[in-house]
């Protein structure tokens, strides 16, 4: 009876009664090389401005079996790492030059995009690839700088102890009765604060107003020179100073409680 191979890791499955006197070599290869690749293997991949198909072999070392793929090379567009459509997890590090994202996926189905300079974990269910990191079940603490690359909406509460660095357009959307707290500073191009009954709290200064007063279409919030400014009609009206105090920089009519 001939050997067969496992579907995901392609380990050699010895047929009943086969490989008498030599089965130990096959077992050592399965356990000592192929399984180690799947659990601990770090595979460098060099792209050449084209999609890259991972090697995938029965019973011998290959690229697709490795746990970690470190992608380098130079791309002038988004390129794909083409992986086998089998159940497996990967850690992908996009270290390519050129500034472009890469994707990982099969020849069919859904692929996952890995931005340039980012390391992410993905998995395949045999048909599609998915991100393994789409949220947190509990509190999530960031001990360094938090970088937000796309448009972000906050619908509950946002407490910033040091710096929130935003590289894409950002809307801080507060639900009714929610407080968005800026303990130190916001860094980024924020496009405004929206939400009925929201308030900004900083240090000992609180400004509360309705959507049509503080939070209307003419009000925006932006960071400049280390300060968080409240603008009305394109003119700076108030700012939060470095100690969290609210400072008027223009004529302001108080509709709520200051």
Per-residue pLDDT tens, the chain, 258 aa: give them: 789 999 999 999 999 999 999 999 999 999 999 999 999 999 999 999 999 999 999 999 999 999 999 999 999 999 999 999 999 999 999 999 999 999 999 999 999 999 999 999 999 999 999 999 888 888 888 787 777 776 665 555 555 555 656 555 555 555 555 555 544 444 444 444 444 444 444 333 334 333 333 434 456 666 666 666 777 666 777 777 666 677 777 665 554 444
pLDDT at position 144 is: 77
Of 102, 131, 160, the one marking the end of a domain is: 131
Could you tell me which of 112, 120, 114 has the C-alpha nearest to residue 101?
Answer: 114
| Amino acid 239: pLDDT | 74
Together in a domain, 19 and 102: yes
Is residue 164 located within the same domain as residue 109? no
Q: Which residue, of 107, 131, 155, is where some domain finishes?
A: 131
CA–CA dist 147, 152 (Å, integer): 11
Q: Are residues 107 and 167 in the same domain?
A: no
User: What is the reported pLDDT for 158?
Assistant: 56
Angstrom distance (rounded) from CA 185 to CA 235: 20
Domain boundary among 85, 105, 131: 131
Q: Residue 247: its pLDDT value, please?
A: 73
Is the domain of 70 the same as that of 173? no
Same domain as 98, residue 179: no
Close Cβ partners of 9 (under 8 Å, ≥ 6 residues apart): 34, 35, 38, 65, 88
The answer on 120 and 10 residing in a single domain is yes
Residue range of the domain that includes 25 = 4-131
Would 117 be classed as within a structural domain? Answer: yes
Is position 253 within any domain?
no
pLDDT value, residue 177: 52
Whether residue 255 is contained in a domain is answered as no
Looking at the structure, do residues 125 and 49 belong to the same domain, yes or no? Answer: yes
Answer yes or no: pTM beyond 0.85. no
pLDDT at residue 201, as a whole number:
43
Give the number of domains in the chain: 2
Same domain flag for 168 and 75: no
Residues 72 and 102 both lie in one domain = yes
Instruction: Tell me how far apart the alpha carbons of residues 157 and 139 are, in angstroms, rounded to a whole number.
Output: 13
Same domain? For 14 and 47 the reply is yes
């Amino acid at each position: 009876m001939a050997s067969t191979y496992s579907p995901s890791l392609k380990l050699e499955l010895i047929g009943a009664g086969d490989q008498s006197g030599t089965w130990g070599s096959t077992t050592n290869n399965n356990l000592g090389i192929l399984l180690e690749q799947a659990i601990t293997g770090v595979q460098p991949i060099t792209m050449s401005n084209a999609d890259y198909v991972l090697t995938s072999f029965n019973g011998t070392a290959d690229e697709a079996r490795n746990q970690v793929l470190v992608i380098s090379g130079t791309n002038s567009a988004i390129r794909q790492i083409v992986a086998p459509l089998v159940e497996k997890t990967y850690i992908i590090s996009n270290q390519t030059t050129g500034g472009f994202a890469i994707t990982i996926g099969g020849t069919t189905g859904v692929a996952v995009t890995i931005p340039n300079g980012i390391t992410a974990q993905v998995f395949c269910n045999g048909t599609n690839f998915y991100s393994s990191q789409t949220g947190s079940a509990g509190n999530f603490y960031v001990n360094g700088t938090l970088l937000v690359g796309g448009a972000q909406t906050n619908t509950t509460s946002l407490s910033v102890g040091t710096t929130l660095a935003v590289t894409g357009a950002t809307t801080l959307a507060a639900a009714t009765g929610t407080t968005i707290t800026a303990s130190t500073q916001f860094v980024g191009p924020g496009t405004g604060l929206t939400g009925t009954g929201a308030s900004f709290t900083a240090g000992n200064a609180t400004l509360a107003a309705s959507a049509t007063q503080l939070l209307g279409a003419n009000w925006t919030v932006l960071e400049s020179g280390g300060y968080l400014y409240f603008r009305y009609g394109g003119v700076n009206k108030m700012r939060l100073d470095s100690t969290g105090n609210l400072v008027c920089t223009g004529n302001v009519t108080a509709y709520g409680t200051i």
